[in-house]
Amino acid sequence: MGPNGLFFLLLYSCYLLSSTQGLGFNWGTRSSHPLPGDIVVRLLKDNGINKVKLFEADPQALSALGDSGIEVMLGIPNEFLAPLASTVQVAEQWVMQNVSQYISKYGVDIRSVAVGNEPFLKNYMGMFEQSTYTALQNVQAALIKAGLARQVKITVPLNSDVYQTDSGLPSGGDFRADIRTLMIAITQFLIDNGGFLTVNIYPFLSLYADPHFPADYAFFDGSAAPVVDGSISYSNVFEANYDTLIWTLEKNGFSNIPIVVGEIGWPTDGDINANVDAARRFNQGLLDRISSGQGTPKRTTPPEVYLFGLIDEDMKSVDPGNFERHWGVFFYDGTIKYQLRLTDGRYLTPAKSVKYLPKQWCVLGPGANIMDPTLAGSIGYACTYADCTSLGYGSTCNGLDAGGNVSYAFNAYYQTMNQKAGACTFNNLAVVTRTDPSIGKCRFEVMIDISQHKKAKGGPVVSSDTTRPGRDSSVALSVVAVVVLLISSLTRVHHALIASVC
């Protein structure tokens, strides 16, 4: 190697050091006020993140990623599986519109297409079993036809309940019996086409699902090793879970397929175990593993990892739990929740140029009677259209008094409705204040001003008004009952569910 070679090697090393290798982020966009795409892309770049996973071909996100140098794993929602499986033409259309176009016209660096999202989750009761494999084959055929198959690889993001272990040990791992044949066919197809396996592993959900789960075992720095498998002692559930997959694959003759961890992370609100300290402990432990290139006992080469998630999403389904809206390393507006040392040694940097609505909040009026019979209905109404998940048990705003609860709900609604006139009346029991009602860890937010961002960009932006006013009801239920009921019954499409426990 001549001096030039050495120079480039050094440059290349600098490049490696200045970006966060092996780490990507899931960028979900189920928000009432999504942060504009260009701001998110800048946020990623400022933090040295060069890989991102999208759950769908969101035009805003994709066009913002154009010429950014950020590698994209592009997801296809489960609802698309049946149409994509119906004919190869549908897949060709999808690839043309959502892959080819963004690569050639916008310069988006799409590296893989993730077909479906946890389609074999037990909760779906087989709904996507018929379509997934055919959709995968059709998408691959369409990529080949578009001349993209070398650049764009295929995968299927799986929930970790596609494998299990009867012995409770990783070495007992095998595919779940009801989908074993299907999983073998899919894995073989992925291998034959240069694809990879994607698995989502959520130690938080193990802890959430089982009150007897040893808490330390969910983290990477626990000292106890409750699982001993032959000569291997497991001190964290991530490794045990991941190695169960490796054993499963080996047992079925697939020792070499590359694996990507498609989702992993820890939420900061909405449950007793979801808080900033636990999230920092988990995610920092994860990042430290990635920086040190640590694999697991069964596979020493570390997987590529996509953290879930980048930003909070206030419109995610809360079917799995209230924590669903709080997985972000950043708040909804790209501000930092807690500090993390990234894999390049840098610390998190917040989003820049975010524009906010005026600093004002909607609260219960000073003279209002907390026993007013219309209050329960008003809260129910407010929390149907806005996110009140921070009020629940174990959450950041759970300590509020009855009046505080009402104010929180009023403000959440007022902000979600862009502080529009008439969104802070609630039978004349509400008033607008310029004093921030936030108290302790309980944040009364001021929303992002989407209209200012639209103006700043001068172009059309995907509508943020996903919320629609409905009929006001004045059911005289107790305030608490209504809030609890609504928090647990809001349903929308979601992307992360229960992980299996080894």
Ligand X SMILES: *[C@@H]1O[C@H](CO)[C@@H](O)[C@H](O)[C@H]1NC(C)=O
Instruction: State the residues that interact with ligand X by CB under 6 A.
Output: 56-57, 93-94, 97-98, 391-393, 398, 400-402, 405, 479-480, 483-484
Q: State which residue, 164 or 395, has the beta carbon closest to ligand X.
A: 395
445 has catalytic annotation: no
* Nearest distance in Å: CB 337, ligand X: 22
* Nearest distance in Å: CB 388, ligand X: 8
* Nearest distance in Å: CB 333, ligand X: 24
Q: State which residue, 59 or 350, has the beta carbon closest to ligand X.
A: 59
Q: State which residue, 70 or 442, has the beta carbon closest to ligand X.
A: 442
Dihedral sign (CA 156, 160, 161, 167): positive
In three-state secondary structure terms, 36 is coil
How far is 356 from 453, CA to CA, in rounded Å?
Answer: 9
* Tokens (6 digits) for 199: 């698995």
Burial 113-147 (b: 16+ CB within 10 A, else e): bbbbbbbbbbeeeeebeebbbbbbbbbbbbbeebe
Q: State which residue, 90 or 201, has the beta carbon closest to ligand X.
A: 90
Q: State which residue, 81 or 290, has the beta carbon closest to ligand X.
A: 81
- DSSP 8-state secondary structure symbol assigned to residue 96: I
* Nearest distance in Å: CB 76, ligand X: 7
CA distance to 24, 213, 315, 330, per residue, from 54 (Å): 11, 31, 16, 17
Q: State which residue, 80 or 213, has the beta carbon closest to ligand X.
A: 80
* Nearest distance in Å: CB 483, ligand X: 4
Q: State which residue, 342 or 430, has the beta carbon closest to ligand X.
A: 430
For residue 174, the surrounding DSSP H or E stretch is strand 173-175
For residue 435, the surrounding DSSP H or E stretch is none
| Catalytic residue chosen out of the listed positions 92, 118, 304, 324 | 118
How far is 222 from 240, CA to CA, in rounded Å?
Answer: 13
* Tokens (6 digits) for 69: 């140098």
* Cβ contact 32:467 at 8 Å: yes
How far is 306 from 263, CA to CA, in rounded Å?
Answer: 5
| Catalytic residue chosen out of the listed positions 56, 92, 239, 263 | 263
Please, is 70 exposed, middle or buried when counting C-beta atoms within 10 Å of its C-beta (0-12, 13-18, 19+)? buried
3-state helix, strand, coil in the chain (%, to 5): 40, 15, 45
CA 205-501-196 angle, to 5 degrees, is 90
Q: State which residue, 56 or 161, has the beta carbon closest to ligand X.
A: 56
Spatial CA neighbour of 415 closest among 450, 439, 390: 450
* Cβ contact 455:360 at 8 Å: no
* Cβ contact 442:408 at 8 Å: yes
Please, is 289 exposed, middle or buried when counting C-beta atoms within 10 Å of its C-beta (0-12, 13-18, 19+)? buried
Kindly calculate the radius of gyration of the chain based on its CA atoms and give it in whole angstroms. 24
71 has catalytic annotation: no
Terminal CA-CA length for the chain:
49
**Which positions are annotated as active-site residues?**
118, 263
